[in-house]
Amino acid sequence: VLKERELIRRIRKMAGAHQRQRRAWEGHPVVAGIGDDCAILEMTAGHEALVTTDFSLEGVHFRREWLPAREIGRRCLLRGLSDIAAMGGEPLAAFLSLALPRSVEQRWLDGFLVGLLKLAQRYGVALAGGDVAQSPGAVLADIVVVGQAPKGKALRRSGARVGDGIYVTGALGRSASELKAFRGRGRPRHVSLAEPRVEQGQKLRGVASACIDVSDGLSTDLRHICEESGVGAVVEAEAVPVAQGATLQDALHGGDDYELLFTSAKPVPEKAAGVTITLIGEIVRGRKLELVDVAGKRKPFEEKGWEHFRR
Ligand SMILES: [Mg+2]
């Protein structure tokens, strides 16, 4: 059983140890992190702050039986980094609020933090604060990530226009196909490591007219772009890049892939920072989302995103 003060000391020590490994830590925008009432971040001149918050709730977003603690910690931060990536931003600092039930052992917490901090380090992000509490039941984690983008240049969901191409980075459906495997076997044999498309998002500034990360599934996230932009969309099922081992249905509706879904009227490069970009459809007039299936038949592109999909 971990006491609150002990817990904070432990997190601070682990965060500090990871951060010191970064040689270029001097000049980082986190002026003060854990240890004061607030963190102090120095934003670059001419930039705007981006702030995102994401829950990772045991039983809702993850199961302790299915994933190692490290992967749960990693995914907790991944969700926040992916949101910054979707805006074309540069992540700067993360804040973690964590509620743990009494039954959680120190070993589990250490694994969770190692997974989270390794990913943070990889993307130059400091764990700059947070909160801890005891949970009556499940593990509850809330991550806040602060980033920045040049003023007026952040990618929004509302910029899609009629005639824009619809594009996606990488391939879709991997997480959904793995989830089915967990259900079948009870334990994953192999867990793929999705990466936040941070570099790719930054490369899309000035190219993408609208952008979102695929966290809830293509059919749901494309709807978000269409709703915010006041447009419709037609997607070619045959063009959608399906991840190895996944089905087309996984790719169309499965969540947690963290690829970027964007629209553009401009010439789009074949790759962004080493990741393939695929044209999957077109923005059209109206509000309807349609799917041209593999037989060439047009039908409504129904929403079977994460919420619906996992039931
Ligand atoms: Mg998002």
Q: What is the mean pLDDT of each run of 10 residues along the chain (311 residues)?
A: 76 74 58 80 93 93 87 94 98 94 91 94 91 91 96 97 98 88 64 88 97 95 97 98 94 94 96 97 97 95 67 44
Q: Tell me, in angstroms, the distance from the centre of ligand 1 to residue 214's CA.
A: 7
Q: Tell me, in angstroms, the distance from the centre of ligand 1 to residue 211's CA.
A: 9
Q: Tell me, in angstroms, the distance from the centre of ligand 1 to residue 79's CA.
A: 7
Strand partners, 263: 166, 210
Residue 306 has what pLDDT?
55
Residue 2 has what pLDDT?
64
Ordered DSSP codes for 129-198: EEEEEE-SSS-EEEEEEEEEEETT-S--STT--TT-EEEEES-B-HHHHHHHHHHHHSS-S--------H
**Distant-in-sequence, close-in-space partners of 296: CB < 8 Å, separation ≥ 6:** none
Q: Tell me, in angstroms, the distance from the centre of ligand 1 to residue 154's CA.
A: 14
Residue 250's H or E segment, with its range, is helix 248-253
Instruction: Name which of 166, 162, 300 is nearest 222 in CA terms.
Output: 166
Q: Tell me, in angstroms, the distance from the centre of ligand 1 to residue 179's CA.
A: 20
Q: Tell me, in angstroms, the distance from the centre of ligand 1 to residue 147's CA.
A: 14
Per-residue model confidence as pLDDT tens digits over 242-300: 999 999 999 999 988 999 999 999 999 999 999 999 999 999 999 999 999 999 999 99
Residue 176 tokens read as 């959904």
Q: Tell me, in angstroms, the distance from the centre of ligand 1 to residue 251's CA.
A: 17
Specify the long-range contacts of residues 12-16, CB closer than 8 Å, at least 24 apart: 14/110, 14/113, 14/114, 14/117, 15/113, 15/117, 15/126, 15/127
Helix 106-122 vs helix 4-20: crossing angle, to nearest 10: 30
217 vs 34, 109, 166, 171, CA distance in Å? 35, 29, 15, 12
Residue 16's H or E segment, with its range, is helix 4-20
Residue 19 has what pLDDT?
60
pTM: predicted TM-score of the whole model, two decimal places: 0.91
Q: Tell me, in angstroms, the distance from the centre of ligand 1 to residue 86's CA.
A: 7
Judge whether 273 and 200 are in contact, CB under 8 Å: yes
Residue 187 has what pLDDT?
60
Q: How far is CA 108 from the centre of its chain?
A: 23
Output the average pLDDT for the chain. 89
Residue 23 has what pLDDT?
44
